[in-house]
């Protein structure tokens, strides 16, 4: 077993420069995720950084470059990669030892690309179910990519990984209402907006009233329910990964409280968990894993 571990480390070290770019990518774009997952054993952390870089390229193809051809190129590169022909890009090279080491599932990588294509052909969801289906493609797919790295029982906790991705995506939506409006997108379901008497015009006027807050809290409560349901997978997560996963979960869930603390201002203010709050959440994670918190 020790010999096998050394061989795997050697394989990873062959791609050191590519992993360094992957690590810089996640540091530049998601400080909270980086802070959480950098606590993993190095090989697992590097694997997650490589997967993040693939997802970042997929997301940026549409959200930054507004380029469907760029996304289609990535899909063709994925086909080649899985066929054993490695495209000449840093994240594909970094993914080589990841796929050699872990029992990776191909489908979530394709699902992520399908989710980005949904943003290209954007339609506001009619129902909560449609929102959560969309959230599967753009976020839960990521969780399913990471699962074989975090657990040797991945096949038993896919449902919880999907729930966590949906919770995180709904959190993104509630944080970025104003930013999404500028991009001509409203991810809040039409039926939910109607239920709480919130109109598109109100959103465009950056209205924050009782109706808006009640609608926002309806979605936030749904996200918090999904976060809690997803924590049931912790016992099946590798022991050396539990702290990092729970920390990522708490950091993201904390964004909801940040919006609340800022008076539900999610139109023109970037809400985030500050360093003091991150430290408090870290202590909470440590306590929960020790079993002193019963949640």
What pLDDT digit, counting tens, does each position of 24-69 carry?
999 999 988 999 999 999 999 999 999 999 999 999 999 999 999 9
Same fold, 1-112 and 122-284: yes
CB 45 within 8 A of CB 80: no
pLDDT for 187 equals 98
Q: Cα(184)–Cα(23) distance, rounded to whole angstroms?
A: 32
Whole-model pTM: value is 0.93
Q: Residue 271: which region, alpha, beta or left (left: phi > 0; alpha: psi -120 to 50)? A: beta
Residues of the chain with pLDDT under 50: 1-7, 292-295
pLDDT for 291 equals 78
Structural domain boundaries in the chain: 1-112, 122-284
Work out the burial of residue 290: count CB atoms within 10 Å of its CB; fewer than 13 is exposed, 13-18 middle, 19 or more buried: exposed
Domain 122-284: give its CATH superfamily. Answer: Farnesyl Diphosphate Synthase (1.10.600.10)
Q: In 10 A of CB 256, how many CB atoms?
A: 24
Q: Which CATH architecture has domain 1-112?
A: Orthogonal Bundle (1.10)
């Amino acid at each position: 077993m020790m010999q096998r571990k050394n061989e795997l480390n050697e394989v990873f070290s062959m791609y050191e420069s590519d992993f360094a770019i992957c690590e810089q990518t996640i540091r530049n774009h998601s400080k909270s995720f980086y802070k959480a997952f950098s606590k993993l054993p190095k090989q697992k952390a590097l694997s997650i950084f490589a997967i993040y870089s693939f997802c970042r390229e997929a997301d940026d193809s549409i959200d930054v470059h507004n380029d469907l051809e760029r996304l289609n190129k990535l899909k063709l590169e994925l086909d080649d990669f899985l066929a054993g022909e490695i495209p000449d890009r840093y994240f594909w090279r970094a993914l080589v030892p990841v796929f050699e080491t872990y029992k990776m599932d191909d489908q979530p990588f394709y699902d992520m690309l399908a989710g980005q294509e949904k943003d290209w052909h954007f339609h506001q969801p009619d129902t909560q179910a449609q929102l959560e289906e969309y959230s599967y493609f753009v976020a839960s797919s990521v969780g399913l990519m990471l699962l074989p790295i975090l657990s040797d029982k991945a096949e038993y906790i896919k449902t919880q990984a999907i729930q966590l991705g949906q919770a995180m995506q709904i959190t993104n939506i509630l944080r970025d209402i104003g930013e999404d409006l500028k991009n001509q997108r409203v991810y809040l379901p039409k039926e939910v907006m109607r239920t709480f008497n919130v109109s598109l015009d109100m959103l465009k006027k950056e209205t924050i009233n009782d109706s808006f807050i009640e609608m926002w809290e309806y979605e936030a409560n749904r996200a918090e329910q999904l976060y809690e349901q997803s924590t049931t997978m912790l016992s099946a997560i590798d022991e050396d990964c539990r702290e990092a996963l729970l920390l990522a979960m708490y950091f993201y869930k904390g964004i909801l409280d940040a919006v609340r603390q800022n008076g539900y201002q999610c139109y023109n203010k970037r809400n985030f968990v500050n360093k003091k709050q991150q430290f408090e959440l870290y202590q909470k994670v440590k306590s929960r894993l020790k079993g002193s918190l019963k949640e």
